[in-house]
């Protein structure tokens, strides 16, 4: 795609997103508009992928709920080009292209990597939407954006191709320490990185003074937020994005709002949290209809002072597959979500700044603290024991603080349920 056409498509999406924000001012207006767009999408686009051909024009509730396993098992039936997973993996390992499509993949932190396929037009749609929500004054000034993530993507190339953003990607799989000086040398006025990388930048003695800081890819915990904001003097804004698409961007007030102008959300409860089932009605190449995400969100009932009618999210609490699955003495199952596990450890002592909590078996939990926080081991262990007991469950806890904690090579996860642990 030529640079003028790329810029035109990016600007079109940018202005369209801003126009929607200006026009859809109430929750009723937003959901009424979304319902019309969704119906049109299901009528005119669903039939183009074999997996949904028989359901074209049906209401959304008639479509089956799918997950990553179902998508990967029939990847060719969920994209309009009929590209198989095998062909997509081969392309991903070479130039990342098949014809007019870009191929990308998740980092695989859950042990199950996923593919995505996107057209050039969709890359610029994604970029324009993100820029309108994150950098709405883009047309009156230029930005230097440093993106630190575990893996690059053709989606990020689109930013440089737009001509309005100087974006440099720093691959965290090359090692965090090796990237810190290079980030400072780039002189970004916008930082985009997972919390563990932002913490490293905040603690390093580097000449960094970003005007905007965005967090993504990991859970942003309150203590990390406070430290990063204190160092850079700005409000951190979260970007909720995954292999499956762009799902939320925080406003200037720091409130994460879902991208309901692009995606319809359904919700499956998990305690007082909710797991999203998404339908992206802007994608036309790889169709994502009633796709169950692995994230756990705490939705907010309070309106944001920014005035946006889009659903506010109080917290991205973690991953559904990192919920601890334990049992009571009578055998009934008990689920402990990552947020309450994390809060139990951090709430045991203000001196605890890092930890790993791992369910290693049906009745076994391992707690790791940094060596320098070994004095807090007993209170942290007692907090976990008390939490487990409060749910009527049983588990043996192994605790240690005699070695450095494992460092994140891709994404940092502090609460982990090992994949081999049976439900």
Give me the pLDDT at residue 154, please: 53
Strands 291-292, 273-280: parallel, antiparallel or unpaired by DSSP? antiparallel
Query: Which strands, in side-by-side order, build the sheet including 101-105?
Result: 97-98, 101-105, 115-119
Cα torsion for 169, 192, 119, 72, to the nearest 10°? 100
Neighbours of 278 (CB within 10 A): 22
- Mean pLDDT across 92-107: 87
Q: What is the C-alpha separation between 10 and 235, in angstroms, rounded?
A: 26
Q: Is the pLDDT of residue 160 over 60?
A: no
Per-residue CA distances from 251 to 195, 241, 313, 395 (Å): 18, 15, 11, 41
Identify the DSSP state of 376. G
Residue-wise pLDDT tens digits, 276-316 = 999 999 999 999 999 999 899 999 998 899 999 999 999 99
- Is residue 188 very low, low, confident or very high in pLDDT (cuts 50, 70, 90)? very high
Closest CA to 266 of 245, 244, 300, 289: 289
* Helices and strands per DSSP (H, E), number in the chain: 11, 21
Give me the pLDDT at residue 408, please: 63
- Is residue 9 very low, low, confident or very high in pLDDT (cuts 50, 70, 90)? confident
Q: What is the C-alpha separation between 101 and 81, in angstroms, rounded?
A: 9
Residue-wise pLDDT tens digits, 311-370 = 999 999 888 888 999 999 888 999 999 989 999 999 999 889 889 999 999 999 999 999
Neighbours of 399 (CB within 10 A): 18
Q: Which domains does the chain have, with CATH numbers?
A: 3-320 (3.40.50.12780), 323-417 (3.30.300)
Q: Is the pLDDT of residue 141 over 90?
A: no
Residue-wise pLDDT tens digits, 353-369 = 889 999 999 999 999 99
Work out the mean pLDDT of the chain and round it to a whole number: 88
CA angle 313–319–322, rounded 5-degree value: 145
| Residue 326 near residue 394 (C-beta atoms within 8 A) | yes
- Mean pLDDT across 96-116: 79
Chain centroid offset of residue 400 CA: 30
């Amino acid at each position: 795609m030529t640079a003028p056409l790329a810029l035109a498509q990016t600007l079109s999406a940018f202005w369209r997103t801003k126009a929607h924000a200006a026009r859809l001012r109430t929750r009723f207006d937003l959901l009424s508009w979304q319902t019309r767009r969704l119906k049109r999408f299901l009528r005119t686009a669903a039939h183009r992928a074999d997996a949904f051909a028989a359901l074209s024009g049906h209401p959304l509730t008639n479509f089956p709920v799918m997950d990553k396993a179902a998508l990967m098992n029939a990847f060719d039936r969920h994209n309009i080009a009929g590209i198989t997973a095998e062909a997509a993996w081969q392309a991903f390992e070479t130039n990342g292209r098949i014809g007019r499509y870009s191929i990308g993949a998740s980092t695989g932190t859950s042990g199950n990597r996923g593919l995505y396929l996107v057209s050039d037009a969709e890359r610029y749609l994604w970029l324009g939407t993100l820029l309108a929500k994150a950098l709405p004054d883009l047309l009156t000034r230029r930005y230097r954006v440093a993106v630190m993530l575990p893996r690059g993507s053709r989606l990020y190339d689109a930013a440089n191709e737009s001509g309005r953003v100087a974006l440099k990607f720093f691959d965290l799989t090359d090692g965090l320490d090796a990237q810190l000086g290079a980030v400072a040398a780039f002189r970004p006025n916008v930082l985009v990185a997972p919390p563990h990388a932002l913490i490293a930048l905040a603690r390093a003695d580097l000449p960094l003074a970003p005007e905007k800081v965005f967090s993504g890819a990991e859970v942003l915990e309150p203590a990390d937020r406070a430290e990063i904001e204190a160092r850079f003097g700005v409000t951190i804004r979260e970007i909720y994005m995954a292999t499956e698409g762009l799902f939320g961007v925080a406003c200037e007030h720091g409130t994460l709002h879902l991208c309901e102008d692009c995606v319809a959300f359904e919700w499956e409860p998990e305690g007082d949290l909710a797991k999203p089932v998404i339908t992206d009605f802007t994608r036309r190449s790889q169709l994502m209809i009633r796709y169950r995400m692995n994230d756990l969100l705490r939705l907010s009932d309070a309106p944001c002072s920014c005035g946006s009618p889009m659903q506010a999210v109080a917290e991205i609490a973690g991953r559904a597959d990192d919920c601890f699955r334990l049992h009571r003495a009578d055998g009934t199952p008990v689920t402990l979500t990552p947020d309450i596990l994390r809060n139990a450890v951090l709430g045991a002592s203000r001196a605890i700044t890092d930890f790993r909590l791992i369910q290693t078996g049906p009745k076994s939990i391992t707690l790791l603290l940094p060596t320098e926080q070994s004095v807090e081991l007993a209170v942290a262990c007692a907090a976990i024991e008390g939490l487990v007991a409060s749910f009527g469950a049983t588990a043996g806890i192994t605790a240690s603080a005699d070695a450095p904690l494992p460092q994140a090579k891709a994404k940092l996860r502090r609460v982990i349920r090992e994949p081999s642990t049976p439900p």
